[in-house]
Chain A
Amino acid sequence: MSWDRNQMAARAAQELQDGYYVNLGIGIPTLVANHIPEGVEVTLQSENGMLGIGPFPYEDEIDADLINAGKQTISELTSSSYFGSADSFAMIRGGHIDLTVLGAMEVAQNGDIANWMIPGKMIKGMGGAMDLVAGVKKIIVVMDHCAKDGSPKFIPICTLPLTGINVVDMIITDLAVFHRTDHDSPFKLIELALGVTAEQVAAKTTADFLI
């Protein structure tokens, strides 16, 4: 057994606290918005220049001038605000965003993250990821535990070009959750997906971690 995309997103959503300003990455992280716990109010930031992201619009409300950072059409809330890219990243780089949830291709045991390029193959660019990991207070990575070829993604040292060094606070995979209390501590396995054992996780992980 393991968690599916929605269960991973729901697990990440448990880290949200009332009053948080949050930036969600593209893919599974975007799904976190569907699992915000009852009684918790968070404001979602979109780095293309918006605070207070609303749900996808109704067909007759679609507006080409209103998109999220994944370039998907969205809607606004009565509490929303708009701003330019420099202000948006001043929020991010200035440490004003409480939490970000990002995908990753690799995370190292020291908290390094690689999620923007595969040399010679994928050349899309880092977008806002390097700014987010450098400036946001808490960094959560949500990713499959292993790559498509079965190789571990939580590893001793990243092999791909880095997005940031020693920045990740929590890793949520389809098998388990790892957390560390500060950037000098090692990651600890704190939770297992239903039916998954610590031995199974260890067998699919090359990074050192505490149990």
Chain B
Amino acid sequence: MKKIYPDAATALDGLLFDGMHLCVGGFGLCGIPERLIDALQEAGVKNLTIASNNAGIDNEGLGKLLRSRQVKKMISSYVGENKEFERQFLSGELEVEFCPQGTLAERCRAGGAGIPGFYTKTGVGTQVAEGKEVKSFDGEDYILERGIFADLCLIKGWKADKAGNLVFRKTARNFNAPMATAGKICVAEVEEIIEVGELDPDAIHLPSIYVKRLIDGSPYDKKIEFRMTREREDAA
């Protein structure tokens, strides 16, 4: 059982087909599987349905796949800061299912845990509830949301050992954690692949069972959307 692949294109070999469903981790540009997204673009696979919290920004992350017109439908909670997305959506070229962020995370967690649906208060009485079953529990209304189980999940981690045990770094964990579980196969890219035994088994964020294929995608030049700083007060 060899999980380590030399590059993103090889790691995706045999997994791609037109019309497939994907989960792609990341929050904004933080923790996005950029090597795997680039490989999707190069492979030219089309009519994709992608669950991802955001849709990248113009020409970064999933924004690249929008520009190359490979995406049929996005399932996302927030798509601001992306002109090409807005253009395709308003002209009807791109289908969008707006999904509350917590509902999207839970749909992935549930789908990955074999739970086909669950009830939540989020979205009751809003557009999100349209066409969904409403059920009352203890006098409060909840709506039925479906679990997500994709054909392929793409995630970005920090370090993984050669067995596929993986850790994330700071807020780059985000959707990568639940989305790693929410499909038939998960391909992960990390900044460093280390020897088995180098990670503390008590401190592993994603157990190896979820990571089927793995690449070292380094070096990374991580993008920042809004760079905020403060001044040092003791400058004198």
Contact = CB atoms under 8 A, between A and B. Distances in A.
Interface in A164-205: 164-165
Contact of A63 (B170, B223, B230): B170
Contacts of A92: 102
B122 A135 contact: yes
A92 B125 CA distance: 19
B177 interface: yes
Interface in B141-176: 158, 168-176
Nearest to A120: B90
B208 to A, nearest CB: 17
Interface in A12-67: 46-50, 55-59, 62-67
A65 B230 contact: no
Contact of B174 (A63, A85, A112, A163): A85
A76 interface: yes
B35 to A, nearest CB: 16
Interface string B195-236: 000000000010000000000000000111111111110000
B47 interface: no
Interface string B113-136: 000000011111111100000000
The main secondary structure of chain A at its interface with chain B is loop
Contacts of A120: 90
A208 interface: no
A82 B172 CA distance: 9
B174 A72 contact: no
A85 B27 CA distance: 9
Contact of A127 (B31, B101, B174, B229): B101
Interface residues of A, number: 54
B28 A161 contact: no
B178 interface: yes
A123 to B, nearest CB: 6
Contacts of A59: 229
B89 interface: yes
Given A49-B171, A50-B171, A73-B229, A125 B126 contact: no
A162 B100 CA distance: 12
Interface in B37-69: 53
Interface string A74-97: 101000001111111110110000
A95 to B, nearest CB: 10
B178 A49 contact: no
B102 A58 contact: no
B103 interface: yes
Interface string A123-147: 1111111110011000000000000
Contact of A131 (B89, B103, B169, B178): B103
Given A47-B102, A163-B126, 10 more contacts: A47-B101, A68-B171, A85-B175, A86-B178, A93-B102, A125-B76, A126-B77, A126-B101, A130-B100, A131-B102
9 contacts: A46-B171, A66-B170, A76-B170, A131-B102, A131-B122, A134-B122, A134-B124, A135-B121, A165-B126
